[in-house]
Amino acid sequence: MNDQKLAAVILAAGRGTRMKSDLPKVLHRVAGLPMASYPVRLATALGSFPTVMVIGHGAAAVEKALADEGVLFAVQSEQLGTGHALLCAREALADFTGTILLLCGDVPLLRQETVARLLSYHGTQKAAVTVLTSRLENPHGYGRIVRDGEEVLRIVEEKDATSAEKAILEINTGIYAFEAPYVFEALRGVTTDNAQGEYYLTDVLAMARADGRRVCALAAAEAGETLGINDRLQLAEAGALMRCRINEELMREGVTLIDPKTTYIDPGVRIGADTVIHPGVHLRGATIIGRGALIEPGVVVTDCTLADDVHLKAGSVLEESRLGDGCTIGPMAHLRPGTVLAGNNKLGNFVETKKATFGLGSQASHLTYIGDAEVGSGVNIGCGTITCNYDGVNKHRTVIEDDVFVGSDTQFVAPVRIGRGSLIGAGSTITKDVPPDSLALSRTEQKVVLGWRLRHKPKEKKS
């Protein structure tokens, strides 16, 4: 790569009519991220500053979805072609001198090393324009690269190509390196004299050659990474390729995936070595998983941090939760946002938590809801326990101190505090604070009527 400054422009203004969707095309997700996030993050990784995204259709939605990506936005009110789209970024780059990397918002699979090679080649060739190309067995629909050795003479769009030009297999990917401010000067001379009636960015190449400037092309090593997404079939294909890339990297780093083809891991997820992941697992967002975890089939984890040796049993769902070492969850447990487990905790089948903290070793083995609660260490919560945290207007907290034993079918009507070392009898409804080392009961006294069954035994019918 050369020593010049680098800026990036990402074209993301198109409607994407073939998606047949109210959602802007570039917001459709590939492996958990809007497809437009990929070129933005690629530009950032390459050191681009600034990065400008040209938006049009659904501009407000695109700007909102990518607000945290550190990108500037330029609006293309009318889609008049790729040349016009780049011109829309001119104001944002008015004072920029250096290399402009042009990326496409619907090309999410492009690798950083490929673009770094493009920029390096562009710099060493001292080119005004360098286009990234690809070779396809069936290039129908793409602009063809017309070469003279290393030099590019022009790019011909499909509708403007002759029969001989349509036979060319090398195509334009829509990814370029341009020198600025020259590219904006050249765009002033671009016209709409073509079959589409649009301002073609490709015309800049011919203008650069006419000005005696060097125009080059570099072929991507893999055609698949330059895949553009125009419909749902291509969206699914891109998603599969991205997941394959993510899964291969994780397996090389020491993670076992029982069936990679049915394991769905977002690009931001981090996983420690010796973790084993079964089929049908979805790991989403900014999830971090430590070493030696076991994740069984059908588990869904979103934006969670899991320490070492965690065991997530089948069908469990975790969201925005933090788990310490050695926790066992499920099967079929649901940890909602705000759940924090200190370590060596067990939350069993059909246990649900929300905004609840558990101290070391505390457990709730089955059929329990703990919400808006603080649970100490060494607490055992029996089957069917509920924290009644909502009174219809406000949420209230339940505090259960260390070493409490909670009998089955207990209701804690918050706000309430259970003192250290207490025992709550099964079937109790606790509405008042319980002092430490106490037994709390709220059942009615059991009554036994001797002989009742004999006195009410039905008489036998005569045959």
The rounded percent of the chain whose pLDDT value lies above 70 is 98
The sign of the torsion formed by the CA atoms of 421, 422, 426, 431 equals negative
Which residues are annotated as part of the binding site for acetyl-CoA?
A: 389-390, 408, 426, 443
Beta-strand relationship, 270-271 and 151-156:
unpaired
Q: Give the pLDDT of residue 423.
A: 98
**The whole model's pTM is what?**
0.90
Q: Give the pLDDT of residue 10.
A: 98
Q: Which residues of 392-402 are buried (b: 16+ CB within 10 A; e: fewer)?
A: eeeebbbbbbb
Q: Give the pLDDT of residue 198.
A: 82
Residue 72, burial from CB neighbour count under 10 angstroms (0-12, 13-18, 19+): middle
Within 10 A of 205 (CB to CB), how many other CB atoms are there?
A: 28
* Per-residue tokens: 301: 């984890």
Distance CA 236, CA 449 (A): 69
Q: Is a pLDDT exceeding 80 seen at residue 459?
A: no
Quick one: pLDDT band at residue 1, thresholds 50, 70, 90?
A: very low
The 10s digit of each residue's pLDDT in 394-403 is 999 999 999 9
Which residues are annotated as part of the binding site?
A: 11-14, 25, 76, 81-82, 106, 143, 157, 172, 230, 336, 354, 369, 380, 389-390, 408, 426, 443
Distance CA 106, CA 44 (A): 17
- Closest listed residue to residue 40, CA positions, set 16, 59, 14, 62: 62
Q: Give the pLDDT of residue 126.
A: 95
Task: Give whole-number Cα distances, 172 to 35, 219, 226, 401, 459, in Å.
Answer: 20, 9, 10, 66, 94
Domain 6-226 has CATH 3.40.190.10: no
Q: Is a pLDDT exceeding 90 seen at residue 462?
A: no
Q: Is a pLDDT exceeding 60 seen at residue 90?
A: yes
Quick one: pLDDT band at residue 124, thresholds 50, 70, 90?
A: very high
Q: Give the pLDDT of residue 460.
A: 65
Q: Is a pLDDT exceeding 70 seen at residue 461?
A: no
Where in the chain are all domains bearing CATH 2.160.10.10? 246-440
Q: Give the pLDDT of residue 131.
A: 96
Q: Is a pLDDT exceeding 50 seen at residue 453?
A: yes
Distance CA 101, CA 92 (A): 14
At residue 350's C-alpha, the angle toward residues 387 and 316, to 5°, is: 120
Q: Which residues of 232-258 are buried (b: 16+ CB within 10 A; e: fewer)?
A: eeebebbbebbbebbbeebeeeebebe
The 10s digit of each residue's pLDDT in 319-366 is 999 999 999 999 999 999 999 999 999 999 999 999 999 999 999 999
Q: Give the pLDDT of residue 100.
A: 98
Rg of the chain, C-alpha, whole Å: 31
Collect all residues with Cβ–Cβ distance below 8 Å to 224 and sequence separation of at least 6.
109, 241
The 10s digit of each residue's pLDDT in 163-205 is 999 999 999 999 999 999 999 999 988 887 776 778 888 889 9
CATH architecture of the domain covering 246-440: 3 Solenoid (2.160)
Task: Give whole-number Cα distances, 112 to 39, 46, 213, 227, 328, in Å.
Answer: 10, 7, 27, 15, 38
Task: Give whole-number Cα distances, 196 to 25, 80, 143, 191, in Å.
Answer: 21, 9, 13, 11
The 10s digit of each residue's pLDDT in 372-384 is 999 999 999 999 9
Quick one: pLDDT band at residue 463, thresholds 50, 70, 90?
A: low
Catalytic residues, by residue number, are 366
Where in the chain are all domains bearing CATH 3.90.550.10? 6-226
Quick one: pLDDT band at residue 4, thresholds 50, 70, 90?
A: low
pLDDT averaged over the chain? 94
Q: Give the pLDDT of residue 75.
A: 96
Residue 114 φ then ψ, to 5° = -65, -45
Q: Give the pLDDT of residue 188.
A: 87
Q: How far apart are the first and last CA of the chain?
A: 102
Which residues are annotated as part of the binding site for Mg(2+)?
A: 106, 230
Q: Give the pLDDT of residue 2.
A: 43
Q: Give the pLDDT of residue 78.
A: 87
Average pLDDT over residues 296-318: 98
The 10s digit of each residue's pLDDT in 413-452 is 999 999 999 999 999 999 999 999 999 999 888 899 999 9
